[in-house]
A and B are shown apart, each in its own frame.
Chain A
Amino acid sequence: MKLFSKIYTFLIFLFLYAPIFVLITFSFNDSKSRSVWAGFTFKWYNQLFQNQEILNALSNTLIIAVISALLATILGTVAAVGINSSKKWTRRIIMNVTNIPMANPEIVTGVSLMLLFVFINRSFGILKPGMTTLILAHKTFCLPYVVLSVMPKLRQMDPNLYEAAQDLGCNPLKAFFKVVLPEIVPGIVTGMMMSFTMSIDDFVISYFTSGTTQTLPIAIYSMTRKMVSPEINALSTLLFGIILTLLIAINLRQIKDKNVKER
């Protein structure tokens, strides 16, 4: 049985990570082919840093991801606190409304946002489709994820803590920052990370709201009439490496914090 569970775990990890390892391997392949191995090289990495088009798309993607994740996190956390302290039925209704964008097919969200932006642009002359609309769109579809990951933390928290803080002389805002916020930080961080990754790899919604700004997924997709350049493999490898290091760093810190607390 133990062997079986080990094999099972191994298989799960294999399915999860095999594509990434293939991609990493081929980012070092000395040929444009995605299947024939022609020798080891760093040339794609070298060329990646000279390819303005990809770098531009990457920087757009990162700017959008960071800003929209931050905005979604702030708005989502505030919303979650509000929803959590409202009455049962109001809470249920609002939660359902927040969940709709998640269940909604991306294409519907994308098209409707595009129509909205174009309409606003035509009638008021503001919000030219581009970076700003992309950030707004990404923020919109990230918001429910933040709310969803903050809510459980709020519900786990002892509601008396907040009242106790106020009894001990905090004003409501101070009580929130001193008592509530530290309790829900893990939820906030999870929400932010999720927003960040969702924003980076979103294609459909960006496609409709991007105007003349190009994000990385759209740039990659446009290469598919010819051949997706191996520079993309190199880029993906770098991104994977960075995110992996970040995750490990965060986990290590959490373990360290736990150890300190336990002592």
Chain B
Amino acid sequence: MKKRGILFILLLLIFVSGCGIKRDNGEVTINVYNWGEYISNGRDGSLNVNNEFTKETGIKVNYTTFQSNEELFAKLSSGGANYDVIIPSDYMISKLIENDMLHKIDFNNVPNYNMIDEKFKYLDYDLNNEYSVPYTWGLMGIFYNKSLVDEKEEQINWDILWNEKYKGKILMFDNARDAFAIAHFILGNSINSKNENDWYNAAEKLKQQKPFVQAYVMDQIFDKMANEEAALAPYYSGDAVLMKKSNSNIGFVIPKDGTNRFVDAMCIPKSSNRKSEAEKYINFMCRTDVALANVEYTGYSTPHKEAYNQLDESVKNNEIFYPNADIINNTQVFVNLPSNINKLLDELWIQIKTGGNGNPILLLVILLTFVLLYILVLLYKRKKLR
């Protein structure tokens, strides 16, 4: 009995440690970190991109997903994870470059890069075009319900989200960078302003909007708009197809005040020790059929010239996904903010959402109450035990 017990524990330990080792010794595996639901995965007969890559190169893909750029940054900077390919958005890329956290990509190993449209090279977040390969892009705009909103499409601009008429029917980004961008557009400031006053003004604007806002949400926008619980919601152009499918009354406008153009691009973090495999993966993602499968699956726009050519005519000519040059020229791209502005942004956003400054005294009182309660319980217990 004794022996069997020990043997069992030993076996378990071997099994547990084996789990860790197995991954290092076997075939080559690269760790890919992407947005959730952001790659063609074989659903509904689409191409299963990661499987295809493994089939062709023998390199296994450990594909994992994140929900926000900030989450990705936290993960990378904690030093707890070695990713080989990551797909952050514009401003996060510039932040990663500033923090020296990205490898320069050797474009000789990414021949398919020449199929990427010139418009997507040398962008503000990667001025020397050394660190990133664009994956998808899109615009921020307003989803509205045609039967609930009186204004015509061409009348809709960002200020409609401040219209008291639609009180309780407006949804807003639960994401500081995007929410502030909208306020900046109305005020006519740069969304990357380095002037603290601009940010205070934008926060003031957002505070004015708060009474009319039903909720600060992200993915719940889909359901709330589909059920007509809400009439107006800013979101990303790539989700227009899905949104319109769920409710035919829903339309999408790109406001004339200008909007944000975001680019999600592939990068290789410094912590990666499989750079050449990572470049192979990036090159694979830039192959026409793969790029095409990905944009067809995600619904976002592609920076890939060949993939664009092969798209359905109805998508190609759709102003939502591929707007004309005038609209594009009226857009701004996010870049990383100086650290003082970033800090201010966090503070202001918390103020807006919680409706004021955090009160340290209140916090102290709450803490003390808990400690007191705990002591009381302990005293009571001791009394009872005696």
**Which segment of B76-84, B117-125, B279-287 sits at the interface?**
B76-84
Q: How far is the CA of A43 from the CA of B170 in the complex (A)?
A: 33
Complex Cα–Cα for A36 and B248 (A): 13
In the complex, which residues 57-89 of chain B have their Cβ closer than 8 Å to any Cβ of chain A?
Answer: 62-68, 78-83
Listed stretches A13-21, A150-158, A220-228, A252-260; interface member: A220-228
Interface on chain B toward A: helix, strand, loop, or mixed SS? mixed
Does any Cβ of B come within 8 Å of A101's Cβ? no
Q: Are B78 and A118 in contact (CB under 8 A)?
A: yes
Would you call A219 and B81 a contact (CB within 8 A)? no
A71 to chain B: closest CB distance in Å? 7
**Stretch of A126-134, A160-168, A233-241 with 4 or more beta carbons under 8 angstroms from chain B:** A126-134
How many interface contacts (CB-CB < 8 Å) are there between A and B? Answer: 133
Distance from A107 Cβ to chain B, minimum over Cβ atoms (Å): 12
| Cβ-based interface call for A201 (8 A) | no
Is B20 a contact of A130 with CB atoms below 8 Å? Answer: yes
CB-based contact A33/B246 at 8 Å = yes
Is the Cβ of B82 less than 8 Å from the Cβ of A212?
yes
> CA A233 – CA B218 in complex, angstroms?
19
Q: Select the stretch in A47-55, A79-87, A188-196 that faces chain B.
A: A47-55
A209 contacts chain B at the CB level, 8 A cutoff: yes
A179 smallest CB distance to B (angstroms): 13
Of the listed stretches B41-49, B92-100, B108-116, B156-164, chain A binds B41-49
Whether A117 pairs with B80 at a CB distance below 8 angstroms is yes
CB-based contact B20/A128 at 8 Å? yes
Q: Is the CB of B62 within 8 A of A212?
A: yes
Beta-carbon contacts under 8 Å, B1-59 to A: 1-2, 9, 12, 15-17, 19-20, 23-24, 31, 33, 35-38, 41-44, 48, 50-51
Binds A, one of B197-205, B220-228, B254-262, B327-335: B220-228
- B9 & A114 in contact (Cβ 8 Å cutoff): no
Contact of B37 among A47, A208, A226 (CB under 8 A): A226
CB-defined contacts of B78 to chain A, threshold 8 Å: 114, 118, 208
CB of A222 within 8 A of CB of B35, answer yes
In the bound complex, residues from chain A placing their C-beta under 8 Å from that of B36 are 219, 221-226
Q: Is A24 an interface residue (CB 8 A)?
A: no
Contact with B along A182-223 (1 / 0, CB 8 A): 000000000000000000000000001111111000110111
Question: Known contacts A132-B17, A211-B80: does B227 contact A227 (CB below 8 Å)?
Answer: no
A118 to B20, CA, bound (A): 15
Give 1 or 0 for each of A116-146: 1 = CB within 8 Å of chain B CB.
0110011000011111100100000000000
B367 beta carbon closer than 8 Å to chain A = no
Q: Which of A50, A52, A212, A228 contacts B31 (CB 8 A)?
A: A212
Instruction: Decide yes or no whether B242 CB sits under 8 A from chain A.
Output: yes
Shortest A225–chain B CB gap in Å is 6
Q: A214-B65, A225-B36 are in contact. Are A71 and B12 (CB under 8 A)?
A: yes
Instruction: Indicate whether A95 reaches chain B with its CB closer than 8 angstroms.
Output: no
Distance of A83 Cα from B285 Cα, bound (Å): 57
Does A91 reach chain B (CB closer than 8 Å)?
no
* Chain A contacts for B48, CB-based, 8 A: 52
Residues of B within 8 A of A109 (CB): none
The CA-CA distance from A128 to B24 in the complex, in Å, is 10
Q: When the two chains form their complex, are residues A228 and B219 in contact, meaning their CB atoms are under 8 A apart?
A: yes
CA–CA, A209 to B75, complex, Å?
Answer: 10
A10 interfacial contact with B, CB 8 Å:
no
Query: Can you add 20 more A-B contacts, CB < 8 Å, to A71-B12, A135-B16, A225-B37?
Result: A33-B222, A34-B223, A51-B41, A67-B15, A71-B16, A118-B78, A118-B80, A131-B19, A132-B17, A132-B19, A211-B81, A212-B64, A219-B36, A221-B36, A222-B35, A222-B64, A223-B67, A224-B67, A224-B219, A225-B68
A-B contact pairs, 16 of them (CB 8 A): A33-B223, A34-B223, A36-B226, A52-B51, A53-B63, A70-B12, A71-B12, A122-B79, A128-B20, A130-B23, A131-B19, A226-B37, A226-B219, A226-B242, A227-B219, A229-B37
- B-binding residues in A (CB < 8 A): 31-36, 47, 50-53, 56, 63, 67, 70-71, 74, 114, 117-118, 121-122, 127-132, 135, 173-174, 177, 208-214, 218-219, 221-229
Task: Give B contacts to A, CB under 8 Å.
Answer: 1-2, 9, 12, 15-17, 19-20, 23-24, 31, 33, 35-38, 41-44, 48, 50-51, 62-68, 78-83, 218-219, 222-223, 226-227, 239, 242, 246
